[in-house]
Amino acid sequence: MFLTIVPGIGAATGFKATLAEMLPLPKLLLQPLALDWLARTDVRVAVLRLDLTDSELSGNKWCKLSGHLRRAIGTGCQQLISVGGPHSNHLHALAAAGKRFGLQTIGLLRGHAQETPTVRDLLKNGMQLHWLGYAGYRDRYQPGFWPSWLQRYPGSYPVPEGGGGLTGAMGCAPLVKHLASLLSGVGWHDYDGWWLAAGTGSTLAGLVIGERGCHPVFGALAGPASHRIDQQVDRLLAEAGQPANPGSYQLYDACRAGFGRFDDPLLQFMTQTEQASGIPLEPVYTAKALLALRHQVEHGRFAPGSRLVFVHTGGLQGRRTLQCVAGGIAGSSSLHP
């Protein structure tokens, strides 16, 4: 669909573009992963390198935000408003998207004012920040939260946490078609499932929607079971008119020390995997997801010869903070996004 950018957005700078020009389909790379534990078990993994799609709207953010940006611009909103923590990949991408497409951005942040590499980028990209404290941030689930912020910033487009919701999930569904065109490049004619990190579960839900039951989607939970991501995924699938089928998706524990927390074995695994594969990872989502996959593979979850697509969901901007905190860690440390 071609929509001309609405007057007022970017008009002051003479900026005018179609949405298709603004958000061109990224060229995706599917890369075979050669690691000793995969060779031993004869399980084949290819990495869908969403981390390479765009320097700023990297990973699953391009997919999840594309629909929100289209809707915001299509309905004439000039401001995007959303929530996240001081290391949030989502806010990082949102601020960059706002700057790129001439939209103002407002970030509602967890905790108290602090400077992190992510926060510095948010400010650099012109995001207006409000620090909500911890209790104030928990209120984001209260019915009055969004109405009061929308009263303060009338006409803003509220982007759900993590860029999710059905609009965010639907932006991930086309990945299934993209993958089909990449399989021959790694010598596959088919595959046996997807494996990816799940935070809110929106990316996973999008893949389940795109698959329509053809291949299972396996999600590695970056947070604790108490977050009830299964319920969120089921809700998204129901909203999409595709209620969950048994076997269409499965969730596995990958949380370890807690959401945003990482321990020494995880960091060692991440470093070794990066050295062996040349693929950069980060500890909150992608390294946890891959370590959980190794656990399942080594426990015989996948038969020899299985072919899995591991989605690299990005998040590499968070590594900068890791470099600051990991130097002195012992036991476990935290990078709560």
CB of 335 to ligand PLP, least distance (A): 11
User: Looking at 53, 89, 105, 156, which residue binds ligand PLP (CB under 6 A)?
Assistant: 89
Neighbouring residues of 203: CB distance < 8 A, sequence distance ≥ 6: 60, 63, 64, 169, 172, 196, 311, 313
Closest CA to 34 of 216, 275, 196, 287: 275
Which residue type occupies 104?
Q
Determine, following the binding rule CB under 6 A, whether residue 101 of this chain makes contact with ligand PLP. Answer: no
Neighbours of 21 (CB within 10 A): 10
Report the site for ligand PLP in 252-311 (rule: CB under 6 A): 285
- Rounded to whole angstroms, the Cα distance separating 239 from 178 reads 24
Provide the token pair at 263: 């321990």
When the beta carbons of 87 and 215 are compared against ligand PLP, the nearer one is 87
When the beta carbons of 78 and 333 are compared against ligand PLP, the nearer one is 333
Report the site for ligand PLP in 194-233 (rule: CB under 6 A): 197-204
Burial zone of 285 (CB within 10 Å; 0-12 exposed, 13-18 middle, 19+ buried): buried
Q: How many residues bind ligand PLP (CB under 6 A)?
A: 18
Determine, following the binding rule CB under 6 A, whether residue 102 of this chain makes contact with ligand PLP. Answer: no
When the beta carbons of 9 and 292 are compared against ligand PLP, the nearer one is 292
Determine, following the binding rule CB under 6 A, whether residue 97 of this chain makes contact with ligand PLP. Answer: no
User: Looking at 87, 90, 110, 288, which residue binds ligand PLP (CB under 6 A)?
Assistant: 90
Determine, following the binding rule CB under 6 A, whether residue 315 of this chain makes contact with ligand PLP. Answer: yes
Q: Give the 3-state secondary structure of residue 306.
A: coil
Determine, following the binding rule CB under 6 A, whether residue 162 of this chain makes contact with ligand PLP. Answer: yes
CB of 268 to ligand PLP, least distance (A): 20
Q: With left for phi above 0 and alpha for psi between -120 and 50, is residue 303 left, alpha or beta?
A: beta
Burial zone of 209 (CB within 10 Å; 0-12 exposed, 13-18 middle, 19+ buried): buried
> In this structure, are residues 83 and 159 in contact, taking their beta carbons and an 8 Å threshold?
no
When the beta carbons of 5 and 119 are compared against ligand PLP, the nearer one is 119
Which residues are near ligand PLP by CB under 6 A?
Answer: 59-60, 89-90, 162, 164, 197-204, 285, 313-315
